[in-house]
């Protein structure tokens, strides 16, 4: 059965470009972005790995770690890392799991049961510090992932975990938020003393908490 939001992310031990990874231990108290690839030396994935390497400071600023996965052996990963640095201008600076035995892919339901190859292994999982799965996205092989969107969702999850708000369509960090319906107007007066814009009783817009 595929992982559902709120499930505990399966633990595993697997080799990577940065040594043996004991996943829950490695994750520690961080958020984790786990994303997978069908095989090494694929063009779209090469650009993605370069971009995640470039974005490492943005993940660190959010207490998040990235970890990749490809179903090829570790030796191939090391060769691919050279191509990533050469073509993308950023060296691989996070672990890339070697999942040749499909152990992690199977644990996370990355390979569709009707697939005859590994081309469906292009999934993203956001996992919170309590090891719960908070987001899953699966992309087609031809479409590069949008890591700006993944950072946006991470910002939203971290904000809404700490404040009684939700984020509206196309929200980005700093934009107005929505007071969740479970919060009464009386409670909202305490939580949001500067007030809010009540468009409907269930749609109350408020400045993002914690922003000047």
Instruction: Tell me the percentage of the chain whose pLDDT exceeds 70.
Output: 95
Indicate the fold that domain 163-206 takes in CATH.
Antioxidant, Horf6; Chain A, domain 2 (3.30.1020)
Q: pTM to 2 decimals?
A: 0.93
Which of helix, strand or coil describes residue 201?
Answer: coil
**Closest to 52 (Cα-Cα) out of 37, 73, 74:** 37
Q: Give residue-wise pLDDT tens across range 16-26.
A: 999 999 999 99
pLDDT of 1 over the 60 cut: no
118 against 2, higher pLDDT:
2
The residue whose two tokens read 């990874």 is 21
State the pLDDT confidence band at 192, using cuts at 50, 70 and 90: very high
* Known catalytic residue at 177: no
Which of helix, strand or coil describes residue 155?
Answer: helix
Domain extents for the chain? 13-145, 163-206
Q: Give residue-wise pLDDT tens across range 106-165.
A: 899 887 666 555 555 789 999 999 999 999 998 888 899 999 999 999 999 999 999 999
Q: Give residue-wise pLDDT tens across range 49-69.
A: 999 999 999 999 999 999 999
The residue whose two tokens read 């595929």 is 2
CA atoms within 13 A on the CB side of 202: 0
DSSP codes of every residue in 90-109: ----S-EEE-TT-HHHHHTT
In this predicted structure, what is the pLDDT of residue 62? 97
In this predicted structure, what is the pLDDT of residue 121? 73
Could you say which DSSP state residue 132 is in? B
CA–CA dist 167, 73 (Å, integer): 41
CA atoms within 13 A on the CB side of 98: 16
Strand boundaries in 11-167, DSSP class E: 13-16, 19-22, 31-37, 64-70, 96-98, 123-127, 133-138, 165-166
CA atoms within 13 A on the CB side of 146: 5
State the pLDDT confidence band at 210, using cuts at 50, 70 and 90: confident
From the list 3, 32, 45, 66, the catalytic residue is 45
- Mean pLDDT, rounded, of the chain: 93
Class of 13-145 per CATH? alpha beta
What are the φ and ψ backbone dihedral angles of 122, each rounded to 5 degrees?
-140, 65
Helix or strand holding residue 154 (H, E): helix 147-162
């Amino acid at each position: 059965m595929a992982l559902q939001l709120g499930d505990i992310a399966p633990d595993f031990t697997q080799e990577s470009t940065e040594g043996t990874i004991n996943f829950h231990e490695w994750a520690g108290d961080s958020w984790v972005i786990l994303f997978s690839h069908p095989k090494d030396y694929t063009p779209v994935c090469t650009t993605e790995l370069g971009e995640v390497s470039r974005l490492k400071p943005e993940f660190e600023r959010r207490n998040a770690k990235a970890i990749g996965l490809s179903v090829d052996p570790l030796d191939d990963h090391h060769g691919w890392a050279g191509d990533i640095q050469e073509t993308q201008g950023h060296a691989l600076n996070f672990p890339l799991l070697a999942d040749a035995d499909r152990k992690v892919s199977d644990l996370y339901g990355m390979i569709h049961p009707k697939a005859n190859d590994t081309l469906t292994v292009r999934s993203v999982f956001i996992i919170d510090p309590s090891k719960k799965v908070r987001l899953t996205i699966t992309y087609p092989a031809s479409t590069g992932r949008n890591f700006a969107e993944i950072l946006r969702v991470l910002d939203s999850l971290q904000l809404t975990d700490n404040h009684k708000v939700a984020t509206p369509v196309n929200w980005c960090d700093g934009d107005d938020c929505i007071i969740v319906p479970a919060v009464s107007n009386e409670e909202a007066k305490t939580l949001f003393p500067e007030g809010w814009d009540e468009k409907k009783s269930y749609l109350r817009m408020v400045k993002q908490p914690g922003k000047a």
